[in-house]
């Protein structure tokens, strides 16, 4: 089975520019997650989708971050404008059903974002 | 709020030896799940092992096993016969119902030849 696909793998931008990341979950996975992982820390959830609806976006900085999953399949995460503290790895994960841990989350390779 | 604490930022082990990574957590819930994830330099988070809180038996997965102490809220990972490919960051994570996974800060494990 194909895994979670993310692109790009690396991105370098200047502060105040905008950037977008793309994620294609495992086929059939209804739940999709975006995590931010700052160097030296564990991943922190930004937003969780169930199909094309948002389940949890309480930790998403909505003044600059946005995410969508229009057709309930792939998703994009956007940052506009970027700040220095947004430098991190952005991980996408998917699972079959929210909250059922016998269906664990599968992670993509992540996008490493560097802000200059 | 749920928290996960990994008190060992870095550890090292000789190849073929055994190493134990520590994790403690805090929650007032009685039903939850615990995980250990491995993150090699490639960055992909790989599920190593999981434990359901209602199960008393410790989970095992080949060379990986856990010591789950529910009363102490402790969930350590034991890696037996360590291999060079085990070198990675290891994250302990807690899942309760519909809430997001809560990760610890990770332990960097180096396996030395």
Q: What three-state secondary structure class fits B49?
A: strand
CA distances from A96 to A48, A50, B111 (A): 13, 10, 34
**Secondary element (H or E) of residue A49:** strand A44-50
CA distances from B71 to A72, A111, B6, B74 (A): 40, 38, 18, 8
Distance from the Cα of B100 to chain A's closest Cα (Å) equals: 7
Q: B17-59, pLDDT tens digit by residue?
A: 999 999 999 999 888 999 999 999 877 889 999 999 988 899 9
A1-10, A28-37, A59-68, B91-100: lowest mean pLDDT where? B91-100
Contact check, Cβ <8 Å, B44/A44? no
DSSP symbol at A100: -
> Which residues in chain B touch residue A105, judged by CB atoms under 8 angstroms apart?
45, 47, 101
Separation of alpha carbons A52 and A48, rounded Å? 10
Whether A27 has its CB under 8 Å from any CB of chain B: the answer is no
């Amino acid at each position: 089975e194909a895994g979670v696909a993310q692109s790009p793998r690396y991105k370098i931008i200047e502060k105040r520019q905008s950037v977008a990341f793309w994620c294609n979950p495992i086929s059939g996975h209804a739940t999709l997650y975006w995590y931010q992982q700052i160097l030296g820390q564990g991943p922190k959830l930004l937003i969780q989708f169930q199909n094309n609806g948002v389940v949890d976006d309480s930790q998403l900085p909505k003044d600059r971050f946005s995410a969508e999953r229009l057709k309930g399949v792939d998703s994009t995460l956007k940052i506009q404008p970027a700040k220095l503290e947004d430098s991190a790895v952005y991980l996408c994960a998917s699972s079959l059903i929210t909250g059922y841990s016998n269906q664990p989350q599968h992670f993509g390779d992540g996008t490493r974002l560097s802000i200059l | 709020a749920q928290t996960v604490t990994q008190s060992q930022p870095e550890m090292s082990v000789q190849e073929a030896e055994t190493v134990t990574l520590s994790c403690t957590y805090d929650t007032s819930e009685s039903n939850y799940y615990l995980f250990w994830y491995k993150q090699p330099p490639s960055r992909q988070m790989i599920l190593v092992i999981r434990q359901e809180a209602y199960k008393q038996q410790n989970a095992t997965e080949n060379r990986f096993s856990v010591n789950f102490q529910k009363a102490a809220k402790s969930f350590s990972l034991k890696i037996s016969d360590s291999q060079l490919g085990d070198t990675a960051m290891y994250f302990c994570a807690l899942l309760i119902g519909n809430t997001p996974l809560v990760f610890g800060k990770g332990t960097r494990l180096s396996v030395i030849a």
